[in-house]
Amino acid sequence: MNVQRAKEIAETTEMVDVSYYGVPVYIQHVNAGNETARIFPVDNPEKEQTVPLSALSEEFDEPDIPFV
C-alpha cells in the first residue's frame, strides 16, 4: 500500500477493509518517513504492532455481476 492511501485510510471516519497477511486490521497511524503503519487486528485492539506499508493490502468487494 502506498503512503498517501494509507494516510487517507487512517484519517477517514469510515471503515475501510485493510488486511495484514489476510488478517483484517485497523490503521492507527502512518509514518511516511519509515513507510510503516501502526496497526491492530479489528477483533483484538490490544495487539498493536508496527508493520511495513508494503505488507498491507486494501480489500475490495467483488461484484456478483461478471465483467463483460
Query: 20-44 burial string, b = 16+ CB within 10 Å, else e?
Result: beeeebbbeebeeeeebbebbbeee
pLDDT beyond 90 at 55: yes
Top-confidence residue, 63 or 22 = 22
The answer to whether residue 65 sits within a structural domain is: no
Residue of 46, 65, 58, 64 whose CA lies nearest to 16: 58
Question: In the prediction, which pLDDT does 3 show?
Answer: 97
Residue 65 DSSP code: S
Q: How far apart are CA 33 and CA 66, in angstroms?
A: 40
Asked whether residue 68 is assigned to any structural domain, the reply reads no
State residue 59's pLDDT score.
Answer: 81
How many domains, the chain?
1
Range of the structural domain that residue 19 is part of:
3-58
- In a domain? residue 28: yes
Q: pLDDT tens, 5-41?
A: 999 999 999 989 999 999 999 999 999 999 999 999 9
Q: Is 10 helix (H, G, I), strand (E, B) or coil?
A: helix
